Amino acid sequence: MATRQFTLPDVGEGLTEGEILQWLVAVGDTVTVNQPLCEVETAKAAVELPSPFAGTVTELLFDAGTMVDVGTPIITIDVGGDAPAAAAADPATTGLIGEPTASGRTAVLVGYGPRNTEARRRPRRGGESVAARATAPVVLPEADYGSGTDRPPLLATAPDAGTKPVRHGGLEVGRQAEAHALRGDAAASGGAAPGRGRLRPLAKPPVRKYAKDLGVDLTAVSGSGAGGTITRADVDAAAAGASTGSVVQGAFGTGSPVGGETRIPIKGVRKHTAAAMVASAFTAPHVTEFLTVDVTRMMKLRARLAARPELADVKVSPLLFVAKALLLAVKRHPMVNSSWDEAAQEIVVKDHVNLGIAAATPRGLVVPNIKDAGRLSLAELAGALADLTATAREGRTSPADMSGGTITITNVGVFGVDTGTPILNPGESAILAFGAVREMPWVHKGKVVPRQVTQLALSFDHRIVDGELGSRFLADIGALLHDPGAALAF
C-alpha cells in the first residue's frame, strides 16, 4: 500500500492557519484528482480544498472544528501502486489563485485547478440520496431601504455572536446544505464521525441548522424520533434545559455558561476582522462627515429605469445609484481613491476603482469588491452587485474577491438605521455609509412636504484627505443622488 499525506496549503496572502469546517469525504471513500476533500475557513474566507491525489481515503487526521497550521498533514490517501501521485499540471485546469483558467473557471488554490470531476461517495442506507436529504437552495430576499424588517446578506456589520441568527425557514443555502447532509452520513449509517471515531448524532440537516441557531449541542441530546433521530422538539427541550445551566454550543463555537457568561472562541474571519479594524482605527486618523440628502428624484428615476428592457434582468436598487454616484465623484477627486504607504513614505493614487461592499456572513464581516468598477455601465454595475450579493449569500466569497479594494460602501440602511461612523477598510482612504431612505417632512419650493430623504456618512483618512477634499467629495455624491441628471455634467 502506497500512501500520501495532503498538508494544509496556504490558500493565499501568507495565511498561517485554517479551521476545518467540515469533511466532504470519509475513510474508505474513493477520491479523484481535484475532488473537494474538505471545507476550510481561513482569516479571509471559507474555501474547498481539492485533492492532489487519486486513491482511497485511509485516515482523516483532524476532526471538523479543529484549527490547523499551514503545512500540517490533514488527510492520508492510499494512492496504490499504479495510481498517479499528483495531478498533472494541465494548463487548462490549473492556475494561480484568483486567476481565470483557460476553461473560464477561477482557481482557488495556488497550483490547483477547478473541480472537473464529480465526487463519488458511499451509498446510503436505504438508498437515500444526498439531493433528497439536503435542503433546497433558497434565494434570500433583499430588504428595501427604510424597512428594517428583513436581514439581507449585505450588512454594515456582522451579526452579533450573542444573538440568535435570523433563520429563513431553517433552510441552508446551496452546496452548504449538501455538505451538512454529508456530515450526517456517518451517523445515519450507524458509523463514526470522521477523524477520531467520535459518534455523530442522528439529525436531519434542517434540525442541525435549527440546533446551531439555538446554540444546542446535538451530541448531548437524546433523539425521540425513529432510530434515535433527533427532532425539532428534542432540540426545543434541550434549549429549554440550557437556560437552567446545561452546557450548550454557540453558533460561533463551543461555549460554557459560567456565572451567566458564554465564551466564544475568536478565530477565522472574525479574528482577522477584529485585528484589521483595530489596526485601521489606531493607524489612520479618522474623520467622519455627514450629509442629509433629498433623494426623491433618484427614487423616481429608479422606478423608471427598472421598467426598461435592458435592466429587466437585474435589481435596480438604491445602492446601485449610490455606487454609481461614488464612482463618478472619484473621477473628479481621484486622491480619495488612494492609500498610504508608510514604508515608502508615499501616497499611492489608484488609477482604477475596486469598489468594496461590506457584507456580513455567519462567519463574520467580509468586504468583497467589484474589480475596476469605474469602467462599468449602470447595467453592468447592477449585474456585478447582484453577483457579489449571491456569492455572499452562499458564503463562497474567495480571498481574491476580497483583496485589492480601493474604496468601500457600507449599507446600514437595510436595518432601518439612518447613519453611522464607519471604520476604514485597511489600506483604503475612504468609506461611505448609506442610511435608510425615509419619507420625511422637507422644505421643498418653500413648502413643507413629504420627501424621500437619506443620510450619508463619509469617513476618511485625514493623512491623505483633508477636510476640504472630503467635503467636496461627499457633496458631489449628495448632488448626484439629489439630482441624477447632474451626472451629465461630470
Same domain, 219 and 295: no
**Is 405 a member of any domain?**
yes
Burial of 468 (0-12, 13-18, 19+ CB in 10 A): exposed
Range of the domain at 26: 3-78
d(CA 434, CA 456): 5
Mapped onto helix, strand or coil, the DSSP state of residue 299 is helix
According to DSSP, the β-strands at 447-461 and 438-444 are antiparallel
d(CA 181, CA 172): 11
Q: Which of 15, 43, 78 is the last residue of a domain?
A: 78
**Annotated catalytic residue 462:** yes
Same domain, 279 and 396: yes
Q: Are 173 and 393 within 8 A, CB to CB? A: yes
Q: What is the pTM of this model?
A: 0.56
Q: Are 406 and 337 within 8 A, CB to CB? A: yes
**Is 136 a member of any domain?**
no
The helix (run of H) or strand (run of E) holding residue 378 is helix 378-394
d(CA 53, CA 82): 12
Same domain, 183 and 303: no
Q: Which of 78, 98, 114 is the last residue of a domain?
A: 78
Give me the number of domains the chain comprises: 3
d(CA 58, CA 418): 56
**Is 94 a member of any domain?**
no
pLDDT in tens, 437-475: 999 999 999 999 999 999 999 999 999 999 999 999 999
pLDDT for the residue 164: 37
Same domain, 245 and 283: no
Same domain, 282 and 330: yes
d(CA 24, CA 120): 10
| Residue type at 43 in one-letter notation | A
Low-confidence residues in the chain, pLDDT < 50: 83-198, 243-258
Residue found under cell 451567566: 260
pLDDT for the residue 199: 54
Same domain, 244 and 273: no
Same domain, 21 and 73: yes
Q: Which of 43, 36, 35 is nearest to 70 (CA)?
A: 43
| Cell numbers standing for residue 136 | 433546497
Same domain, 305 and 210: no
Same domain, 320 and 461: yes
The helix (run of H) or strand (run of E) holding residue 322 is helix 318-332
Same domain, 231 and 295: no
Same domain, 404 and 349: yes
pLDDT for the residue 205: 66
Choosing from 286, 444, 462, 482, the catalytic residue is: 462
| Cell numbers standing for residue 97 | 489563485
Mapped onto helix, strand or coil, the DSSP state of residue 296 is helix
Domain containing residue 9: CATH number = 2.40.50.100
pLDDT for the residue 271: 78
